[in-house]
Every structure is written in C-alpha cells, then in structure tokens.
Structure 1
Amino acid sequence: MTDTIKLVSPVDGSVYAERAALDEAALAHVVAVARKAQADWAQVPLDERVAYCLKALDALKAMNPDVVPELAWQMGRPIRYGGELGGTIERTEYCASVAKDALADIVRTDRPGFNRYLRRVPLGIVMVIAPWNYPFMTAINTIMPALMSGNVIILKHAAQTLLVGERLAQAFETAGLPKGVFQNIVLTHEGTEKLLGSGVIDHVNFTGSVAGGRAIEKALAGTFASLGLELGGKDPAYVRADADLPYAIENLVDGAFYNAGQCCCGIERIYVHESHFDKFVEGFVDLTSQYKLGNPLDEATTLGPMAQARFAAWVRQQTEEALRQGATAHIDPALFPAAKEGTPYLAPQVLTNVNHQMSVMREESFGPVVGIMKVKDDEEALQFMNDSPYGLTASLWTEDADAAAAIGDRIETGTVFMNRCDYLDPALVWTGVKETGKGAALSEIGFHNLTRPKSFHFRVKH
C-alpha cells in the first residue's frame, strides 16, 4: 500500500496538496540515476555548472507571482511580503560570484622539482532535507553551491511545503539541467531513515529540530556520510545603554515577529540595559500592538497563522507557564480577534518579569512571543545570552563597535550582529554551536563543506 503525504493548510485547515511517497523500488531508481549523473556532471566545466544554476534562478523569478500565494497557503506567510525571491537571488548570485575562487586549486611552490596542489572535488550525492519555514532559501543555501561544486542533489522537502520541491525541480528542468542532477522526492520519515542508513548518500544537509537532527545522525551512523545540521535556536538581543532606542525597537519587533516568529534566527529573548528598560518595553509593546493578524492572502495582513496548530499550542503553553510563574503579559488578546484557541492563528505576545527558569526564556518557541529582561551591565547581559543550550546568532544594539566586538568575542554563537538581526549574509558563514548543530553553509566555507580536499603530489623528472 502506498503512503500518502498530506499538506494541511494553516489558512483554513484544508488539505492543500497530497502526494504519494516513493516506494523502495522507485527510490532505488532515483539513487541509481543520481549516481550515474554525478560522474558526468562533475566533468562539466565550472562556468557551465554555474550558468545552469543562474538559468534556474531566472525560472524561479518568472514563477514568483504564483509562488507567493502558494507559500501563503502552505505555511502561512502573508502575501504582502512577496515570498523569498529576494534572498534566493542574493544567495544564488553570491555563490555564482565566488565559486571560481572557492573551488580554485591551492598550489604549493616551495619545493623545486615538484608540482603540488590541493583540489576541491565533489562529494557525490548530496541529500537536502529542507524545512518549511523558509522553504526556498534554506534549500538554496545547499543546493546552489553543491551543484556548482559538481555534486548532484536529491531534495526531500518538508510535508508542509511539498510544492516548493516541485517548484525547484521545475526551475532546474526549465534551465535544461541534465537528467538526474537534481531530483525532488517525497518520502515518509521511515523511508528517509532507511535511505540514510543504506550508505548510498554522501552528504546530508538538514535544517530542523534538535530531535530531528539526532534522528538523522543516528540513521547515518556507520555510513561515514558527512553531515550539516542547523537545528534549534533561542537567539538573544542585548540593548546597551548607548543604543539608538527607536531604531532598536523598530528592528527588534520585526526580528521577533516576522513570519509569525518562525525564523531560524528570529529574536526570542531580549536583554535591555536598566536605563532604557521602561521606554524600550513601552515602545516595543506599542509597535507590536499594531500588527494585523489574519488570512495571509489578505494584503492588509501583517501577521499570518503559524504553520500548524500544534506549533501554536506549544507557544500558548510556554506563555501560560510563564504567566503562572509570575511573568507579565503586555499585549491584550482582544486586539487580535482572529486569534482562536486550537487554531494556528496566534496573537503576538510580549512578556516581562521573566527569568531563566521559564521555558519561554530557555527553550525554542519558534512563534510570536518574546521575553524581555532588565540587565545592569554588559557582564550580566553576557551571562544571560550564554545561558542557553543553543547558539545560532546574537544581536547587539550599540553605537560602540569596539564594545560590540569585545562582547561578541565572548558570546557562544555562530554569528554576532551589531544593529541588525534576523538576516543571513551570503558572504559570511552560516553556522551554529552547541545544540544548534554543526557544519556550515554560505560563503567560501559553504563550498568547502560540500567538497573534499584531494592532494596532487607530482615529482618532475629532468
């Protein structure tokens, strides 16, 4: 009996799409086609591989008017924000611009009579297990540099965003990519674990939960496949005494509530110098209250539903626990009549009188709630920022770049921002520490994680 994967829309609870999962025979064919294609693809000149990727990007641009409402139906992001095309363009074009240098041979010239160099060669079959929250950009982070490097891709997208995998496959088909170089598949969790354990995949990139990362690492055990994991986060912000307060408020509200808080590097906890605390909270609450929660297909909506009702239930649970333990809620739910218990529609919430014994300040929320704490100085803020099992990004709001650099050196995180947040710079490596995962994407280092070094040592006889 064939398993069926169903995509239930957060907009109205309807089944928006359903697809049959591959059986073992079909999956074996996918892998065989990929393996054969990779040997030929690796011989295609780099500039031609890059050109294929840029043609696929052009195809994505052309389909964006259809993609934007599809995304709203699939995972709830309001159509007013225009999908993910801007970030997809920025990351793909940057990869294309640095591919030659990132993959260039490193030549050693210090020994006469020898030709010695290091070359980056493809890993082979790269499997991308992509998440639903930024379903294009998170996938593109690996897909584009992997293809440019000579790998082939097998993409398994999240059930919540099934159609994104199909859109990407359509784009590469339009670009004329050779058969088998990019394949989109639909699999059950059990089928995915079996494929990973089979030893036929050379590299896996996964973005998702800590539990999901552990399951993938366990499934891969003994296969010696390389692995990139971007998992949980609880990203902090620190507003120093010298911060531009209106600027910090405006950007941190957006950093906390954009995409209904469902951002890998979204702001989930804020520490504010005591001299600014009251004014910061006042301004933050006022701006948060201006969001319009509703149907993401409505141009007026600025806050859509969470992707699934169970995700909203977790945020409600965290918030209620914090309130029982003494936290103060600053947002009146009556301002958001679209919010209803048991649905993905959830009002934003701002909490004070919080502490690090509360789940909302310790465990990933991945939703529209943020806790704000008062701190007396940099040292106290640093202590709180590092008091987390996660480490993806940290955001510092200050006019003192030297102070930001000094504090940033001591934060246990993958990226330190000053006066910005919730952004991936394709020129900088995207990585995390602790339970946020391992491996790296973007920049030249992203290319290095999708290739292996190979040494050439030639003695020249005269």
Structure 2
Amino acid sequence: MQTTLTSLNANAAKFIATPRKMLINGQWVEAASGKRIETKNPATGEVITTVPEGGVEDINRAVAAARKAFEEGPWPKMKPNERGNLLLKFADLLEANAEEFSHLETLDNGAPLSITESFVSLSVDNLRYFAGWTTKITGETIPVSVPGNIFNYTRREPIGVIGGITPWNGPLYMAILKLSAPLATGNTVVLNPASLTPLTVLRLGELVQEAGFPDGVVNIVPGSGSIAGAALTEHPNVDKISFTGSTEVGKQIIRSSADNVKKVSLELGGKSAHIIFADADYETALQNAANAVFFNSGQACIAGSRLFVENKIYDKFMSDLAEYTKNFKLGNGFDQSTILGPLISEKQKNSVLGYVDIGLQEGAELLVGGNPTEAELANGYYVKPTVLANVSNDMTIAREEIFGPVVTGMPFNDIDKVIRLANQTEYGLGGGVCTTDIRKAHKVANAMRTGNVWINTYNLLDPASPYGGYKQSGLGRENGSAAIDMFTETKSIWVNLD
C-alpha cells in the first residue's frame, strides 16, 4: 500500500525557519559566547536549524533571574488560584498548538507522529492536573504533647529555584514534568533541555510568555550537559535539581549537590523485567512484549528489555515475537505507516548495534533485527526491532541498558526463581507481568523491586500516578501527590497561646 508523508505544520516550518534564541528573564537572547549548535533530523541526518549553545555565564544570568522572580515581583505574591489559572492557560495554548508541537518533536526527535501526538496530549493533561493542585496544598494542625497551651501547625512552602535538566528521548513531556509541579507549588525554574532536541522546549518558552507568567519564572538555556547542565547543578543559588537521564550522570549530580546539600530528584536508567507466564492471554502477551520494548524505538528507560518467558511456551513465543516484529515498519516519523522511527543519533545507533554484537559474541541467538541494509533505509539512524534468544541473566545485554529496540529472551520454570532473576539488577524502574492468575500477578508485582509494575499491559502513565525508580533508577517521584512533596518544604510553626 502506498503511503504519503504528512506535510510539516506551517507554524512548525515558520519556527525552524529562523535560528532560535534562549529565554532568560523574559527576553530572547543569544548565548554570551555567541556560539550556536546544530540540531539534526535523525530520520535524515540533515540540519534542521541552530540554537544558542548556553554556557556558564548564561546559566548564571538565568539563575539570577529565577532567584529574583522567586523573591520579588508578582510571582511570590500570587494567590494559589492565580497560579492555577496560569497553568490552565498554558495547557490551553499547548492544546491549541498540538499539531505544531507534535511535528516539531517528530522532526527533532524522530519519533512517529502517533507517539509525539500522545506526548502532547499527556503534557496537556499534566498541566491541567497540577493546576488543580495549586489550591489544595495544605499543612497540618498537630496535637503536640509538650507542656503549656501550645499550638503547632505546618506549612508547605516552595523550595525556591529549580534546575530542570531534560533528556532527548521525550523532550516535550519531560520538560512539562520539570515545569508543572514546580510552578504549581510556587517555585521558579531554569530549564536545560538536551542539546540534541531543544526545539519543542524553546517553543514552550513562547507559550509561557503568552500565558502570562512573570519574567524570570521560567528560563530556558539549551547547551551541553557537561557545561550548561553542570553549571546549573553546581550553582549555589539553585535550590534543587530535577533530572531525567542516565544513571551515570545522575551519580555525578549527586556528587555535585554535596557541596551545598542541594536537593535532587532523579529519574534514571532502567533494565526492566517483563515476565510472561504460560497461562497468559497469548495474543495480549505477545503485543505487550513487543510494545514494552519497541515503543519509541526502545529509547525509553522503562523499556521491558529483559523478557522472561515460561518454558512451556518459550520457543513458540520467541519465534512468534520475531515474526510479529517483522511487521513493524521502520521509517520517517511523518510517514503514517511508520511504527519505529530512527534512533536519536549515529552515536546511539552504533552503541545499540555494538550491544547486539556483544550479545552474539556471548552466545545469544539473533532471531530477527539488526542493522537495516542500504536498500531498506539509505539514510537516518535506524536499527530494526531486534529479538535475541538464549540469553542468560548475567550477559552484558541482560545487565546493561541498551536504550534501543533490542529485547533479550530468557526461559524460566519457577515463579520464585523468576522473581529472583527479575530483581538481580542494579536498576528498578519498570516491570511487567502477563498472567490470567490474579494471585500470581499480585505475588510477582509485590515482590518486584521496582517503582512501576504493569499487569497485562505496559507503558501506561497518568499525571495522578507517581512515577520513579528503586535502586540506581533514581531518587524521588514525579506525578501525583508525590510530586508536590518533591517540590515543597515543610515548615513547623509553634505558638505559645499562654
């Protein structure tokens, strides 16, 4: 069947036609150094546009603006419902420009429109959810037992200046997570978007201004993590860092935060176990197994990349999974028939293919996938959905995060043993179980040492449900009431009524 490419949204085309600037204190400015960086279309390798390359001086200016906006001007004087109304206006503007944002994201990140459209929708929902929280952040009256007529109560107060550092695999939604709860609770924000995918985040800055947020409340400084990100992490006037990215960088942030005991919340890597029992609904399990790891071309920290399948159905299931993935069309995200878009860069593509080679050297069997031929896809950073069988839990490909469309299949016989295998990882972000036995499902879900578990489904997210990881998958939670805790301080106040 012949497919056609969707034409680029007119506003998106207009946005990339002009080299972009960074947002500091309500002004769109160049980097102090005058340097710029290219952002490329991963489907073709072509340069889309350029953005300023933020450095230490730019971070200093942005933090100073955020600090001033937090302590002075209209923002700290705003009533909770006024902050909520700004967030609602922000959400309305994002929804009204949904097509532009999904097109910019697909252009810059490579994900198919079906994925970027869902991320825009989820971002709108997230803003509206936290807009509702602004009038519901309360303290407590505490019946203390000290002598005298003493009244004790608590207040929930904003932390201050939040440094938000976002990844390239879901740039829009991740930026919204760094804005919605922090702004709802009265903080100010300096965003450092990933240098590979800055476009939708910079466009968000225009909506922030259009919605009416005071100058300096939101500042956006693109630039490398090693320079701009590090400067933000180490800055003494940043009160908290909210970071999504690799575990390696997360550890560096923890070390940097020690100098001034800066608060951090980290959503890091994962190596999630997905357990398929023989009594599962077969077709549902097959679809879940594929979608759990191939969503967003495997560039998801919650990817169910360690697939444990009960021995009774292992051979058939792995064979059927390989056949199932052959129907996943690779291609440009603007092609409506595309299921898997490109990886973000040539470096990432080579890294993923390198892991596949390591797996084969260690004894894994390649059922399907790998590098597309020149005839299949001449341009772009593509890797076919890859299924590896006969893997053991101690292999490199079963221990290290690949961050690409690669699943490793391992058989099991015993429920207690598979739980132990699932937990034998330094990560703990996601996990999945497929079974029609609800008792078995709850036993496994309760035993998995991970922050998120899906039963007979996968990849579901909602603004009301907390999201985060155990072990080296991170610290703290995003979404839900947990996010309110992450971005507020609790103050205890004592009053002598005698």
**Which TM bucket (shorter chain)?**
over 0.9
Structure 1 334/203 Cα, relative in aligned 2: closer, same or farther at 3 Å? closer
2:162 pairs with one of 122, 126, 142: 126
Structure 1 25/251 Cα, relative in aligned 2: closer, same or farther at 3 Å? closer
- 2:114 is the alignment partner of 1:114: no
Distance in 1 (CA, whole Å) between partners of 2:486 and 2:400 is 29
* 1:244 Cα deviation after fit: 1.1
List runs of 5+ in structure 2 lacking aligned partners.
1-32
* 1:251 Cα deviation after fit: 2.0
- Aligned AA for 2:40? V
Task: Write out aligned runs for 1:72-111 (5 A).
Answer: 72-83=106-117, 84-101=119-136, 103-109=137-143
1:237 pairs with one of 274, 278, 284: 274
- Aligned AA for 1:207? T
Partner in structure 1 of residue 69 of structure 2: 37
* 1:22 Cα deviation after fit: 3.6
Per-residue CA deviations over 1:186-208 (Å, capped at 9, x if unaligned) read 23422432343231100101111
Contact 1:104–1:120 (Cα < 8 Å) also in 2:
yes
- Aligned AA for 1:131? P
Structure 1 347/86 Cα, relative in aligned 2: closer, same or farther at 3 Å? same
Structure 1 334/437 Cα, relative in aligned 2: closer, same or farther at 3 Å? closer
Task: Write out aligned runs for 1:264-343 (5 A).
Answer: 264-331=301-368
Is the partner of 1:105 in helix, strand or coil? coil
Per-residue CA deviations over 1:267-287 (Å, capped at 9, x if unaligned) read 111101112223322332222
Is the partner of 1:170 in helix, strand or coil? helix
Contact 1:75–1:307 (Cα < 8 Å) also in 2:
yes
Distance in 1 (CA, whole Å) between partners of 2:375 and 2:240 is 43
Distance in 1 (CA, whole Å) between partners of 2:116 and 2:489 is 37
- 2:91 is the alignment partner of 1:57: yes
List runs of 5+ in structure 1 lacking aligned partners.
none
Structure 1 222/137 Cα, relative in aligned 2: closer, same or farther at 3 Å? same
- Aligned AA for 2:312? S
Per-residue CA deviations over 1:345-390 (Å, capped at 9, x if unaligned) read 1111111111123221110011111011110021121121111111
Structure 1 378/205 Cα, relative in aligned 2: closer, same or farther at 3 Å? same
- Aligned AA for 1:47? N
TM-score (norm 2): 0.87
CA RMSD for the aligned pairs? 2.1
* 1:66 Cα deviation after fit: 1.5
Partner in structure 1 of residue 432 of structure 2: 395
Structure 1 92/348 Cα, relative in aligned 2: closer, same or farther at 3 Å? same
- Aligned AA for 2:288? N
Distance in 1 (CA, whole Å) between partners of 2:311 and 2:471 is 29
Per-residue CA deviations over 1:137-179 (Å, capped at 9, x if unaligned) read 2222231011010100111100111112212111211111111
Is the partner of 1:155 in helix, strand or coil? strand
Q: Percent identity?
A: 29
* 1:125 Cα deviation after fit: 0.3
* 1:337 Cα deviation after fit: 6.2
The alignment covers a number of residue pairs equal to 460
Partner in structure 1 of residue 218 of structure 2: 182
Distance in 1 (CA, whole Å) between partners of 2:372 and 2:202 is 38
Is the partner of 2:182 in helix, strand or coil? helix
Partner in structure 2 of residue 21 of structure 1: 53
- Aligned AA for 1:225? K
Distance in 1 (CA, whole Å) between partners of 2:180 and 2:287 is 33
Distance in 1 (CA, whole Å) between partners of 2:116 and 2:54 is 32
The worse-fitting range, judged by mean Cα deviation, of 315-324 and 214-223 is: 214-223
Is the partner of 1:297 in helix, strand or coil? coil
- Aligned AA for 1:17? T
Distance in 2 (CA, whole Å) between partners of 1:216 and 1:342 is 36
* 1:23 Cα deviation after fit: 5.0
Distance in 2 (CA, whole Å) between partners of 1:199 and 1:32 is 11
1:428 pairs with one of 447, 465, 471: 465
* 1:309 Cα deviation after fit: 1.1
Contact 1:339–1:347 (Cα < 8 Å) also in 2:
no
